[in-house]
Structure 1
Amino acid sequence: MQPVSSESSISTEPKASILELLHEHYLELTPDGRYVRWLRDHPRHPRNWSGLRKGYDIILICLLDLIITASSTAGSAAAARAKYEYDMSATLSTFIFVTIFLLGQVAGTILFPPWSEAFGRKNMYIVSSGLSAICCMVIGFARSMPLIIIMRIVAGALSAIPYTIIGGSIEDMFNAHARIWAMFYWTIASNIGLILGPIMSSYIIAGLDWRWNFFIFAIIIAGVTGGLCFIRESRPSMLLAYEVQRLTDATMLSIPPPLNHDHIPDLNTFAKEALFRPAQLFFQEPIILVIAIIISVAMSLIYMFTEALQPIYELMGFSETTGSLIFIAIGLGTVLSTFTRVLDSYILNHIRSQGRPIKPEHKLFGLGIGGPFLAAGLWWFAWTIPPETPSPWIVPTISLVLVGYALTEIDTVLYGYISDAYLSYSASATAAVALLRALLSGAFPLFTRQMFDGLGNNVAMSVLAAIATAFCIVPPVFIFYGERIRRASKFARYSWEIQEELGKDEGDW
C-alpha cells in the first residue's frame, strides 16, 4: 500500500525554510520531497526512548500476555470440575472451556493486528486487558452455560491482542540486535503463562472452587490494566503524524504530509487492504506458512500436556495437584534458553565488528539446536513412561527440560525471524502464525485423551516425536537458503523497502 498523496505536499513557502524547520525538529523530507519522515536521532521515535521507558512498556505488555495465556491453559482444570456441575461429557467441557477460547482467538488474530498497524497499539492493550478481566469475572458468577460460552469466546478474541501485536511493538521500539532479547523476554513470558496456568488452576480449584479460578485471574488482569494506562503509543507512523500536525499547528506553514504506509482513509479501505492481510501472508508467503506449521504443532504440545501429563504421572504415584508441578520441568527448560540468547548476542557482535550487515538468518542458530532437542526430548519421554517402561519419575521428567528448552528456542527464534523479515508488518505476520496455532491448540485437547487411551502412552508420544523429527529438516533449510527465499518473497521485500524509505538503519538504530 502506497502513501496517500496530497495536493498540499508542495509548500508555498520557500523550500529551504521548510527544510530548516524540519531539521530543527529532527525531521526531514523524503528524497522525492513529497513527504516528511523521521530523522535518525528524533528523541520521540520509539527506537530512541530511554531504557526505562522501553523497559516499563515491554514488561507490562509481556505480563499481560503471560496472565492471559495462563488463563487459557487453566481452562482444562476448570473443565474437569465444571463438567460435573453442568452434567457434561469431558470432551464437551474441554471444548467449552479450552477450545472455544482458542477459536475466539482465531477471530481476534484476523481483526486486531492489522487494526493496530493502522490505528495504533496502546488503546488495544488497555481494552484487551480491561475487557478480559470483566469476562473472567462474569464467567465466575455466571450460572448460565450460554453466557459462559459467550464470555469465553470474547475472552479468546481479546487474548489475540497482546499475543499477536507484541511482535509489532517490539519492532517499533528495538533495533535488530536488541530484538534478540526483547523477543526472548516475550516468548519466555508467553511460555511461562502456558506452564503456569495448569499449576495455578490445579491448586486454586483444589483449595477453593473452579469459579475462583476465574475470579483470581480477573483480579490479576485488572491490576495489569491499571499499569497499562501509563504505557505510550509506539506505532511510528502514528507518532510521525502527530509530530507533523503539531509542527503545522505551531507554525501555520504548509508542511508536506507525513510518510505513512499505514494510512487508512476509511473502514472500507481497512477491510479491503488490511483486514485480510494475515490471511494473505499465510497463503502467499512460504516463510509464514512453514513457520506457522512448526510453531503451531510445537506449541500445541503444551495444550496436549494439560490433558496427558497428569494422568501419566498419576500412574507413577502423583496426586492430581502434585502432577501439575511437572510443568515446572518445562519451565526450567524455558529459562535455560538464556544461554542461547547470550550466544546469539556474541554472534551478532562478531558480525558487526567485521563491518557486515546483520541479516535475519544470522539469528537462526537457536533453531538449529531447538529442532533436534525437541525430537530427542519427546523420544526420551515416550519410552521412559509407563506402562511399557516404568522408570523412576525423574527420568522422563529430565526429558521435559529438553522439551521446554526446544519449545522456547523454536518460539523465540521463529517469531524473531518474522519480526526481522517483515518489520513494520510483523504484527500481521505474527497473526497469520497465531491463527493456525490457535486452531491446533484448541483442537489437540479434544482428542488427546482418546489418542493416549487408544494408542497407549508410549505409542502416542512416539507419534509426536516422529512429527518433531520430521521438523528437523527445516532449520538447515532456513539457515542456508532463508535469505534466498526471503528475497523471492514480495511482501518481505516490500517491508524492507518501507524501512529504507522511512530512513531506518536496522543495524544500529
Structure 2
Amino acid sequence: MDTVDQELSAVSGLEPHQQLLESFSLEFTPDGGHVRWSASNHRHPRNWSTIRKSFDISIVIFLDLYTTAVSTAGSSAATIAEKEWDISHTLAIFIFVSLYLLGQGIGGVLFPPYSETFGRKKLYIVSTALYSIFCVVVGVVPSMAGVIVGRFTTGFLSAIPTTVVVGSIEDMFNSKGRIWLIFLWAIVSNLGLIIGPIMGTYITLTLGWRWVFYIAAIVNGVITLLLFSIRESRPSLLLVREVAKLRKITGIETLQALNPDHTPSLHMFARLALFRPLRLLVTEPIVFLVSIMSAVAFALIYLFTEALPPIYESFGFSSSSASLPFLAIGVGLLAGIPTRMLDNWVLARHKRKGHPFAPEYKLIGFIIGAPVLAGGLWCFAWTIPPRIPSVHWLVSTVALGFIGYALNEFDTVLAGYLADSYLSYAASGFAALALVRSTMSALFPLFGVRMFEALDANIAVSVLAALATVFCLVPRLFTKHGPQIRARSKFARYSLQVHRENGVDSEGY
C-alpha cells in the first residue's frame, strides 16, 4: 500500500470537511464546490524532490535531443540515398527531412492537448517505443516506400518530446525555475539540430546511411525502458486520482476534483482540445507573432544543413569536415548563460519591489537576441564566397556563433513567454508554435537550395538578414503592449484563473 492509501485508510469514515482534506494536504476551492491542491502538498509535481524532478526532466529532454538530431541527420542520409535510388536532391530532401517535419507538425497539434487531458507519461513511453520500431523500418525496407512511411511516422511521434516537454516543465517548475529549465531544453534541442548533420555525415560515410536509423532505434529503445521509471506529472490528472482514492476509501461521493482539463466525451475533447492550438494561432496575437518568429529562427538551422556545407567547401573544406562549422552555432548557444543570470536579476529586483509577476520581465534575451540575429546574418552574408572570397573562414564562423546565441534566445525566451502567458495550457500554446515551426522547417531546405543557387549565397543570406531586421521591431511591441494584449484575451485570462485555482507556486515567482 502506498503512502496515499495509508493516509486515506487512517481517516476512513470521516465527514467531508476542511479538516479531513487538510490531513491529505488538500483544500476546498473558495466556492466549496471542488477539491484542489494545497500549497504544501508534497505529491504535487512542483513540490517533488529536486532529484525526482531532475531525473524525469533529464530523460525527456535527452529524448528530445536525440530525436531532433535524427531529424537533421536525414539531410546527410539523403545525399547518399539519392545516388542509390537515382532521384533528385530536392526529392531526397523532401523524403528524408521534409516528411519528418510535416509529420511532426501534425503530431504537434494532436499530442499536447491529449497530454493535458490524459497525461504525459504514457505518451512518452508509447511514442518512443514506436519511434524505435519505425526507425528500423526506414533502414530495413529496401525501397523508398519504407523511408517515406518510416520518416513521416517517426516525425509524427517526435512531436511528443518536441512539444510536450514544455508542458512537463510547466507541471513541475514555477516561473523562476522555468527560466533555467526552458533555457536548458532550448540549448539541448538546438544542440540536437547542430549535432545531427555532423553525426549523420560521419555515420553515413563510415557505415552507410541506414545505420543512422539503426543506431537511432537502439538509442530510443533504451530511452523507452528509462521512461517507465518517470512519474506522471499532469497536476489535474494526479488530483483526480487522489480525490478518487479519497472517495473510494471514505465513501464520500460528493468530493469532486477541480479539473479544468476534464472532457466528458471524445467529441468534446476534439472540439475543445484538438482545435485549441489552431484557435490560439489564429486568434491570439502573441501566439501568432511568437510562432512566426520562433519558426523562422528554428528553420534557419534546417536551411543551414543544406547551405553551409557548399559554402565551406568553397573555402577548401572536405565533404566530411564541411559540416563542422555547425559547432560554432553550438558554442553560441552556451553564450546565453549570462543572459539567464540577467533574467534572474530582473525577476529578483521586481520581486523585492513587490511587483506582481509579468511575463514581460523575462524578455531580456529576446530584446538582445533580435538585433544580434540580424547583425550575425548580415555579417555572415558578406564574409563568404562567392562575392567576398578573400575573407578568412574564421570570420564567418564567428558570425555563426552570434547567430547560434540569437537562435537559442528566440527559442528560450519566446517559448518561456508562451508558458508564462498561457500557464496551464502552455503545451497547447506551444503546439501552435510547433505547427508553424515544423512547416517552415520542412519548406526552408526545399526552397533554400534553389534560392542559394539562383541568388548566390551572399544575396540569399542577405534576404534572411533583412527579415531578421524586421523582427527587431517586435520586442518593443511586447514590452509596451503585451499586458494589454493579454488583458483582452479571454483565453489568457481564463488560463491565469485556472492557474491560481489549481497551481502551486511554492516560491511565488
Q: TM-score range by the shorter chain?
A: over 0.9
> Is contact 2:47–2:506 with CA below 8 Å preserved after alignment?
no
Q: What is the CA deviation profile of residues 293-343 of structure 1, one whole-angstrom value per residue up to 9, with x for unaligned ones?
A: 101111100000000000000000001111111100000000111111111
What residue number does 2:144 align with?
Answer: 145
What residue number does 1:4 align with?
Answer: none
| SS at structure 2 position matched to 1:320 | coil
**In terms of mean alpha carbon deviation, does 122-131 or 460-469 score higher?**
122-131
What residue number does 1:315 align with?
Answer: 314
Q: What is the CA deviation profile of residues 144-191 of structure 1, one whole-angstrom value per residue up to 9, with x for unaligned ones?
A: 211221111111110111111111111110011111001111101110
One-letter amino acid matched to 2:473: I
What residue number does 1:460 align with?
Answer: 460
One-letter amino acid matched to 1:189: V
**In terms of mean alpha carbon deviation, does 245-254 or 307-316 score higher?**
245-254
Q: 1:194 & 1:36 partners in 2: Cα distance? A: 44
Shift of residue 123 of structure 1? 0.8
One-letter amino acid matched to 1:433: L
What residue number does 1:29 align with?
Answer: 28
**In terms of mean alpha carbon deviation, does 210-219 or 195-204 score higher?**
210-219
> Is contact 1:105–1:156 with CA below 8 Å preserved after alignment?
yes
Q: 1:79 & 1:14 partners in 2: Cα distance? A: 66
| SS at structure 2 position matched to 1:316 | coil
What residue number does 2:437 align with?
Answer: 437
- Which runs of structure 2 are paired with 1:9-408 in the superposition (5 Å)? 17-390=16-389, 391-408=391-408
> Is contact 2:46–2:505 with CA below 8 Å preserved after alignment?
no
One-letter amino acid matched to 1:487: A
What residue number does 2:8 align with?
Answer: none
| SS at structure 1 position matched to 2:175 | coil
> Is contact 1:358–1:507 with CA below 8 Å preserved after alignment?
no
Q: 1:398 & 1:281 partners in 2: Cα distance? A: 38
One-letter amino acid matched to 1:135: F
**In terms of mean alpha carbon deviation, does 426-435 or 259-268 score higher?**
259-268
One-letter amino acid matched to 1:492: A
| Regions of 4+ moved over 6 Å | 13-16
> Is contact 1:18–1:255 with CA below 8 Å preserved after alignment?
no
One-letter amino acid matched to 1:384: T
Q: 1:93 & 1:21 partners in 2: Cα distance? A: 64
Normalising by structure 1, we get a TM-score of 0.96
One-letter amino acid matched to 2:467: I
One-letter amino acid matched to 1:144: S
What is the alpha-carbon root mean square deviation over aligned residues? 1.4
One-letter amino acid matched to 1:225: T
Uncovered stretches (5+) of structure 1, i.e. residues with no partner: 1-12
One-letter amino acid matched to 2:479: I
**In terms of mean alpha carbon deviation, does 286-295 or 134-143 score higher?**
134-143
Shift of residue 127 of structure 1? 1.4
Q: 2:508 & 2:40 partners in 1: Cα distance? A: 11
Q: What is the CA deviation profile of residues 266-303 of structure 1, one whole-angstrom value per residue up to 9, with x for unaligned ones?
A: 21111111111110000010100000110111110000
Shift of residue 253 of structure 1? 2.3
> Is contact 2:39–2:506 with CA below 8 Å preserved after alignment?
no
Shift of residue 447 of structure 1? 1.4
Shift of residue 375 of structure 1? 0.2
Q: 1:310 & 1:43 partners in 2: Cα distance? A: 51
What residue number does 1:7 align with?
Answer: none
Shift of residue 348 of structure 1? 1.0
Shift of residue 255 of structure 1? 4.1
> Is contact 2:374–2:469 with CA below 8 Å preserved after alignment?
yes
| SS at structure 2 position matched to 1:74 | helix
The answer as to 2:498 corresponding to 1:479 is no
Q: 2:349 & 2:303 partners in 1: Cα distance? A: 40
What residue number does 1:501 align with?
Answer: 501
One-letter amino acid matched to 2:347: L
| SS at structure 1 position matched to 2:354 | coil
> Is contact 1:357–1:507 with CA below 8 Å preserved after alignment?
no
What residue number does 1:10 align with?
Answer: none
Q: 2:505 & 2:182 partners in 1: Cα distance? A: 19
Pair 503,336 (structure 1): closer, same or farther in 2 beyond 3 Å: closer
> Is contact 1:377–1:399 with CA below 8 Å preserved after alignment?
yes
One-letter amino acid matched to 2:28: L
Pair 14,35 (structure 1): closer, same or farther in 2 beyond 3 Å: farther
> Is contact 2:183–2:412 with CA below 8 Å preserved after alignment?
yes
Q: 1:193 & 1:294 partners in 2: Cα distance? A: 20
Pair 241,328 (structure 1): closer, same or farther in 2 beyond 3 Å: same
Q: What is the CA deviation profile of residues 327-369 of structure 1, one whole-angstrom value per residue up to 9, with x for unaligned ones?
A: 0000000011111111111111122122222211100011000
Q: 2:98 & 2:282 partners in 1: Cα distance? A: 24
Q: What is the CA deviation profile of residues 107-162 of structure 1, one whole-angstrom value per residue up to 9, with x for unaligned ones?
A: 10121111001100011111121111111111111112112211111111101111
> Is contact 1:35–1:257 with CA below 8 Å preserved after alignment?
yes
> Is contact 2:13–2:250 with CA below 8 Å preserved after alignment?
no
> Is contact 1:310–1:320 with CA below 8 Å preserved after alignment?
yes
The alignment covers a number of residue pairs equal to 497
Shift of residue 486 of structure 1? 1.3
Q: 2:13 & 2:279 partners in 1: Cα distance? A: 44
Shift of residue 501 of structure 1? 2.1
What residue number does 2:490 align with?
Answer: 490
Q: What is the CA deviation profile of residues 201-230 of structure 1, one whole-angstrom value per residue up to 9, with x for unaligned ones?
A: 001111110011111111112111111111
Q: 1:218 & 1:210 partners in 2: Cα distance? A: 14
> Is contact 1:128–1:158 with CA below 8 Å preserved after alignment?
yes
> Is contact 1:314–1:323 with CA below 8 Å preserved after alignment?
yes
Q: 1:356 & 1:178 partners in 2: Cα distance? A: 18
> Is contact 2:100–2:155 with CA below 8 Å preserved after alignment?
yes
Pair 31,186 (structure 1): closer, same or farther in 2 beyond 3 Å: same
Pair 154,17 (structure 1): closer, same or farther in 2 beyond 3 Å: closer
> Is contact 2:16–2:252 with CA below 8 Å preserved after alignment?
no
> Is contact 2:329–2:404 with CA below 8 Å preserved after alignment?
yes
Q: 2:423 & 2:234 partners in 1: Cα distance? A: 12
Normalising by structure 2, we get a TM-score of 0.96
One-letter amino acid matched to 2:427: A
Q: 1:147 & 1:259 partners in 2: Cα distance? A: 46
Shift of residue 505 of structure 1? 4.5
**In terms of mean alpha carbon deviation, does 135-144 or 371-380 score higher?**
135-144
**In terms of mean alpha carbon deviation, does 410-419 or 15-24 score higher?**
15-24
> Is contact 1:296–1:433 with CA below 8 Å preserved after alignment?
yes
Shift of residue 506 of structure 1? 8.0
**In terms of mean alpha carbon deviation, does 497-506 or 323-332 score higher?**
497-506
Pair 506,99 (structure 1): closer, same or farther in 2 beyond 3 Å: farther
| SS at structure 1 position matched to 2:36 | strand
> Is contact 1:139–1:151 with CA below 8 Å preserved after alignment?
yes
| SS at structure 2 position matched to 1:37 | strand
> Is contact 2:306–2:449 with CA below 8 Å preserved after alignment?
yes
Shift of residue 18 of structure 1? 2.3
One-letter amino acid matched to 1:348: L
Shift of residue 254 of structure 1? 2.9
